Structure 1
Amino acid sequence: MARRAFLHVGTAKSGTSYLQDLWWRHRDELQAQGLLLPGRGRRDHFTAAALVKGMTAVVDDLDQRDREVWSRLVDETRTWDGDVLVSNEHFADTPAEAAVAALSDLASAADEVHVLVTARDLGRVLPSAWQQRVKMGARMPYRKFLGSVRREDGDQKFWRYQDVPAILRIWSAGLPGGRVHVVVVPAPGAPRDELWTRTASVLGIDVTGLDIEAQRANDSLGVVEAELLRRVNDAVPRERRDLAYSRRVKRTFVPTALVGSAPRDSFAVPDNHVAWIEEAAEGVVVALREGSYDVVGDLRDLEPFVATDGRTPDQVTDTELLAAAEVVLDRLGLPPAGSLDAALTDLAGHLLSAG
């Protein structure tokens, strides 16, 4: 039996990729300290989350071996005598009954089960979440997205991944408060390794001297680049914006052609959305203060950060979009388009023909 089993359930856009990259990169060093990351790699943890939450679109395409991934991770936990860590943000969006079953599985394999939630301020999460959806093929304008999230109509998915108090209620069922850990993502300006060291303190590992330099290219987009991609999505027929399309966009188009095609601007939060975002953030802080959870970090870091020098995508001009599009076309080995409409058509055609 493992001593402790840690399940990191998200939230999405809270530094999860950063943490997972480091955990897997230093897997051997962490294992030498007694912390095991079970499975063959990050993909197994994603598959496990899909199985636990019942992610039909993924599960239906799994072969028999992959359908047994969660069971294998639990079995590996049972045969390890130290601590174990399983991490994927898709665990956040898990029905209550399925979460109880997963915790029960882990309880059969470890003396203690711990849940880890990383939480980031809504002022940075919202633009990041919109950008992620655009990478998945969405064409909803930024302001309309914010309005939908505010009203919660037609956009419940955002809150299923970001409603920290609700996620904690689901995943803390039957666990002592001290075994439910909330690591607050530090505010801008903090040391770049602060989130890494905060989570390390929960896991009980010494990360002194471990390399924290990014080995993956940063594929976050600036305001111009994100709006250009949204316009390209809008030029692609709805029925063609499928899983295969989003994979081409995320895996090749964004990192190799789109990133760096325009000067980088920060995302701004429109003035008419600031008040409700601040109110929602205050609700999270109050819930964490009143709860019995183990909070690591400063709750003031959950106050919404709003970039004072940022812009919204609707403030981007067609001239800026065309300039970025021409850079992307050149990188793809395609001729100049001459107009924005032609560039969007050419880029959409390239992405569809690439499949």
Structure 2
Amino acid sequence: MARRAFLHVGTAKSGTSFLQDLWWQHRDALRDRGLLLPGRRRRDHFTAAALVKGMSAVVDDLGERDRDVWDRIVEETSAWPGDVLVSNEHFADSPAAAARAALADLGSAADEVHVLVTARDLGRVLPSAWQQRVKMGARMPYRKFLGSVRREDGDQKFWRYQDVPGILDVWSAGLPGERVHVVVVPAPGAPRDELWVRTASVLGLDVAGLDTAARRPNDSLGVVEAELLRRVNDAVPRDRRTLAYSRHVKGSFVPTALVGSAPRDSFAVPDNHVAWVEESAASVVATLRASPYDVVGDLDDLLPALAPDGRTPDQVSEAELMAAAGTVLERLGLPAASDLGAALDALAEHLLSAG
């Protein structure tokens, strides 16, 4: 039986990819230091989250062997004498009953169960979440996205992955407060490995000597690049938008052709959205200050420092989009376009044929 089982449930866009990359990169070294990442590969933790929460779009397509990934993770946990870590942000929006069942499963395999939530300020999460949607084929403009989040529209998934107090309520059921850990993503300007160090302290893990350099390219987009991709998505007919298209855009087109095609600038929160963003963040901080949870980091880092020199995608000029599109076309070995409309059509057709 494991000594402690840690379940990292999110939130999304809170440095999860950075942490997971490092955990899996150093999996053998971490095992030697007493921490097991169960499963055969990183994707097993995503599959486990899909199984736990009943993510039918994924579960229905699983092969026979993958349908018991969660059970195998629990079995590996039970057979390991040290600590265990399972991490995927898709656990975050699990129904309460599913969360209770998952915690019970881990409780049968470990002496202690701990839940870990990483949290980042809304001022950075909002544009990052919009970018993620655009990478998956979304056409919704940035301002409209912010409005839908503010109104909590019924089809808006944002808060299912970002309601930190709500996620903690679901995943802390039956656990003492000291076993529910909130790791705050540090404010801009902190050492790049600070989140890694903070999380390691929760895990009781010695990470001395482990390389924290990123091995995957940083595929975050600037304002111009993100708006260009959104317009390319808009040029794709609705009946031709497929999962293969989205996977190709996110997995290949963005990191190899789009990133770096325009000068990088910061996203701004429009003036008419500043008040509710700040109020929402302040409410989260107040709730966490009054909670029994173990908080690692400064809760004030969850109060957004909104970039005064940032821009919104609707402020990008046609000339900037055309320049970026020209760079992308050249990188792809495609002919130059006469105008922005032709460039968007050419990129859309290329992505459809490649996907």
Shorter chain as denominator, the TM-score bin is over 0.9
Alignment of 1:1-355 (within 5 A): 1-355=1-355
**2:118 aligned partner, one-letter code:** T
What 5-or-longer segments of structure 2 have no aligned partner?
none
> Matched residues, percent identical?
81
Provide the rounded CA distance (Å) in 2 between the counterparts of 1:255 and 1:79. 39
- Bigger mean CA offset, 53-62 vs 154-163: 154-163
Deviation by residue 1:180-222 (Cα, 9 ceiling, x = unmatched): 0000000001111110000000000011221001111111100
After TM superposition, give the deviation of residue 156 of structure 1 in Å: 3.3
Q: Give the 3-state SS of the residue equivalent to 1:230 in structure 2.
A: helix
Tell whether the 8 Å contact from 1:149 to 1:155 is kept in structure 2 after alignment: no
The 8 Å contact of residues 2 and 110 in structure 1, kept in 2 or not, is answered as yes
CA displacement at 1:155 relative to structure 2: 4.5
* Distance in structure 2 (CA, Å) of the matches to 1:241 and 1:52: 28
Determine if contact 1:138/1:233 at 8 Å carries over to the other structure. yes
Cα distance between partner residues in 2 of 1:219 and 1:155 = 26
- The aligned amino acid for 2:3 is R
TM (norm. structure 2) is: 0.99
- What is the identity, as a one-letter code, of the residue corresponding to 1:216? R
Partner SS, residue 157 of structure 2: helix
How many angstroms does 1:239 deviate by?
2.4
CA displacement at 1:162 relative to structure 2: 0.0
Given that residues 11 and 161 in structure 1 are in contact (C-alpha distance below 8 angstroms), is that contact kept between their aligned partners in structure 2? yes
Output the CA distance in 2 between the equivalents of 1:191 and 1:250. 28
Deviations 1:18-44 (A, max 9, x none): 000011111111111110000111100
Distance in 2 of aligned mates of 1:34 and 1:242: 43
Which ranges of 4 or more aligned residues in structure 1 deviate by more than 3 Å?
A: none
State the alpha-carbon separation in 1 of the partners of residues 253 and 130 from structure 2. 18
Letter paired with 2:88? N
Q: Which moved more, 1:79-88 or 1:52-61?
A: 52-61
Q: What amino acid does structure 2 have at the position aligned with 1:138?
A: A
TM normalised by structure 1 equals 0.99
Q: 2:186 aligns to what SS in structure 1?
A: coil
Which residue identity does 2:332 align to in structure 1?
Answer: L
> Which string of whole-angstrom CA distances, capped at 9 and with x for unpartnered residues, describes residues 274-315 of structure 1?
110000001110110111000000000000121121110000
- Contact 1:222–1:266 under 8 Å retained in 2: yes
Q: Distance in 2 between the 1:238 and 1:338 partners?
A: 25
Aligned AA for 1:348?
Answer: A
Matched pairs, number: 355
Cα deviation, 1:114-134, whole Å, max 9, x if unaligned, reads 000000000000000000000
* Residues 13 and 120, structure 1, Cα contact 8 Å, conserved in 2: yes
Instruction: Give the whole-Å Cα distance in 1 for the aligned partners of 2:302 and 2:286.
Output: 11
SS in 2 for 1:114: strand
CA RMSD in angstroms comes to: 0.7
Amino acid at match of 1:295: V
Distance across 2 between alignment mates of 1:133 and 1:272: 22
The 1-side partners of 2:239 and 2:221 are apart by: 25
**Contact 1:11–1:92 (8 Å) recurs in 2:** yes
SS of residue in 1 equivalent to 2:182? strand
Deviation at 1:245, TM superposition (A): 1.0
Q: Which amino acid aligns with 2:79?
A: T
Structure 1 SS opposite 2:321: helix
Cα-to-partner distance string for 1:239-276 (whole Å, 9 max, x where unaligned): 22221111000111101110111111110111111110
Amino acid at match of 1:215: R
SS in 2 for 1:24: helix
Partners of 2:61 and 2:288 in 1: CA distance? 38
**Structure 1 CA distance, aligned partners of 2:320 and 2:199?**
40
> What SS does the corresponding residue of 1:169 show, helix, strand or coil?
helix
